[in-house]
């Protein structure tokens, strides 16, 4: 039986992946978490090399997907040691243990390995990260490549999908400010939304589907190695995302103001559009339209008093 280990199965992407893999009748899936470990999720701190090695020895998976990471740019900027431990060293520990067992590793990375000045970016374009998060993820990519040839990096852009908290995704984290702008008094200031950076919001169930297809390739002896990328294809700024969210939430008059110059404390790239053609050429991929997918998210996790969620 084909066995997959998902590390970080309690996170935004990991949960969608665990849900997708659970639909595979002939596969065995073993999932781990850290703070949110529980009955279904084995506790594993991926910063602990020995614990990682023991877990992989004991479970003997055919493939390991690394969805555990520190993915908040501001946290990485302020705590580079934590970023390094999770995004670089832990990837190396997993790759070393997996290589000893002959398991394939799929390690998730980000479009922030690019500086965003020359999109679109092919998988073999030269990375040039602008911030500590991007640098740590690029070093993690290199740690995987240095340790094993039997592995793949999958770069992804801004993710959204089923949430357990508004702050889990940079897409849904806009909702409280949008709602406040709609429900405020005449004196309430409009919500200011970035209209400078171009993002390609990508739905986690679509990414999970893509990863499942990549695992199928491996299961039939055609593992995809090196670097691959997957992205939604609807460009939008956070301001445009907020307009669509306001419409989906049916909150009435959301008052949003576009901000045309970057104001982030942590430098962020302008447009890191990822070229997905390497996977598309293999027949891999699925894209749900943003307006459809975001409504699915909001139905499952409605804003209090939100008409879209209550219908």
Ligand X SMILES: NC(=O)c1ccc[n+]([C@@H]2O[C@H](COP(=O)([O-])OP(=O)(O)OC[C@H]3O[C@@H](n4cnc5c(N)ncnc54)[C@H](OP(=O)(O)O)[C@@H]3O)[C@@H](O)[C@H]2O)c1
Site string for ligand X, 128-147 (x = CB under 6 A): ---------x----------
Cβ-proximal residues to 296 (8 Å cutoff; 6+ apart), any chain: 162, 288
Positions in 140-199 near ligand X (CB under 6 A):
156-159, 168, 170
Nearer to ligand X, 178 or 274 (CB): 274
List binders of ligand X among 233-292 (CB under 6 A): none
No. of helices (H) and no. of strands (E), the chain: 12, 11
DSSP states along 25-86:
TTEEEEEEESTT--SSSEE--TT-HHHHHHHHHHH--SEEEE------HHHHHH-HHHHHII
Tell me: does residue 71 bind ligand X (CB under 6 A): yes
User: Minimal distance in Å, beta carbon 259 to ligand X?
Assistant: 20
Distance separating alpha carbons of residues 278 and 226, to the nearest angstrom: 11
C-alpha dihedral, 113 to 105 to 65 to 112, nearest 10°: 0
Q: Does 227 bind ligand X (CB under 6 A)?
A: no
- Which range touches ligand X (CB under 6 A), out of 9-17, 20-28, 49-57, 144-152? 9-17
CB nearer to ligand X: give 14 or 269. Answer: 14
Residue 132 exposure: Cα atoms within 13 Å on the Cβ side: 18
The partner residues of 110 in beta bridges, in order of sequence, read 156
Strand-pair category, 27-33 with 42-43: parallel
Give the residue with the Cβ less far from ligand X, 34 or 196: 34
Q: Applying CB under 6 A, which of residues 69, 88, 105, 224 lies at the interface with ligand X?
A: 69
In the complex, the smallest distance separating the C-beta of residue 262 from ligand X, rounded to whole angstroms, is 18
CA-to-CA separations, 78 to 133, 156, 174, in angstroms, rounded: 10, 23, 23
Residue-level length of the chain: 311
Contact flag: residue 6 with ligand X (CB under 6 A)? no
In terms of Cα–Cα distance, which of 283, 275, 276, 277 is closest to 217? Answer: 283
Distance, in Å, from the CA atom of 147 to the CA atom of 96, rounded to the nearest integer, reads: 6
Q: Which of 108, 163, 249, 274 binds ligand X (CB under 6 A)?
A: 108
Q: Using CB atoms within 10 Å of the CB of residue 217, give its burial: 0 to 12 exposed, 13 to 18 middle, 19+ buried.
A: middle
Segments of 119-251 assigned E as strands:
151-156, 159-160, 191-194, 202-203, 226-229
Size of residue set near ligand X by CB under 6 A? 28
Among 4, 5, 6, 11, binds ligand X (CB under 6 A): 11
Answer yes or no whether residue 106 interacts with ligand X by CB under 6 A.
no
**Judged by CB under 6 A, which of 36, 244, 255, 287 binds ligand X?**
36
Question: Of the candidates 4, 5, 29, 46, which one interacts with ligand X according to CB under 6 A?
Answer: 46
Closest distance of CB 14 from ligand X, Å? 5
In whole angstroms, what is the distance from residue 46 CA to residue 54 CA? 11
Q: Which part of the chain contacts ligand X (CB under 6 A), choosing from 40-48, 172-180, 223-231, 298-306? A: 40-48
Catalytic residue among 93, 112, 121, 133: 133
Of 34, 123, 150, 196, which one interacts with ligand X (CB under 6 A)?
34
160 is catalytic: no
Catalytic residue numbers, as ranges: 133
Footprint on this chain of ligand X (rule: CB under 6 A):
8, 10-14, 33-36, 44-47, 67-69, 71, 86, 108, 110, 137, 156-159, 168, 170
């Amino acid at each position: 039986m084909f066995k997959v280990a998902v590390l970080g199965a309690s996170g935004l992407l990991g949960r969608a992946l665990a849900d997708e893999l659970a639909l595979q009748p002939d596969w065995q899936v073993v999932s781990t978490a850290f703070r949110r470990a529980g009955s279904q999720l084995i506790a594993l701190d991926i910063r602990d090399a020995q614990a990682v090695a023991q877990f992989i020895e004991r479970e003997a998976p055919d493939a390991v997907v690394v969805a555990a990471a520190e993915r908040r740019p501001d946290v990485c900027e302020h705590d580079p040691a934590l970023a390094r431990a999770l995004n670089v060293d832990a990837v190396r520990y997993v790759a070393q243990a997996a290589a000893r067992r002959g398991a394939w590793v799929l390690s998730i990375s980000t479009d922030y390995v690019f500086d965003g000045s020359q999109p679109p970016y092919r998988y073999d374009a030269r990375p040039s990260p602008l911030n500590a998060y991007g640098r740590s993820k690029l070093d993690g990519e290199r740690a995987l490549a240095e340790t094993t040839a039997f592995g793949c990096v999958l770069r992804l852009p801004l993710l959204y999908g089923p949430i357990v908290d508004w702050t889990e995704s940079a897409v849904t984290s806009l909702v409280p400010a949008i709602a406040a702008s709609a429900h405020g008094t005449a004196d309430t200031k409009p919500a200011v939304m970035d209209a400078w950076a171009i993002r390609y919001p990508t739905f986690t169930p679509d990414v999970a589907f893509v990863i499942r297809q990549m695992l199928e390739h491996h299961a039939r002896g055609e593992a995809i190695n090196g670097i691959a990328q997957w992205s939604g294809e609807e460009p939008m700024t956070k301001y445009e995302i907020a307009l669509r969210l306001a419409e989906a939430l049916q909150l009435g008059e959301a008052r949003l103001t576009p901000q045309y110059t970057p104001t982030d404390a942590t430098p962020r790239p302008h447009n890191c559009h990822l070229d997905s053609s390497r996977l598309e050429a293999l027949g891999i991929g699925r894209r749900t339209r943003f307006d459809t997918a975001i409504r699915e998210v909001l139905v499952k996790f409605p804003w209090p008093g939100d008409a879209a969620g209550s219908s």
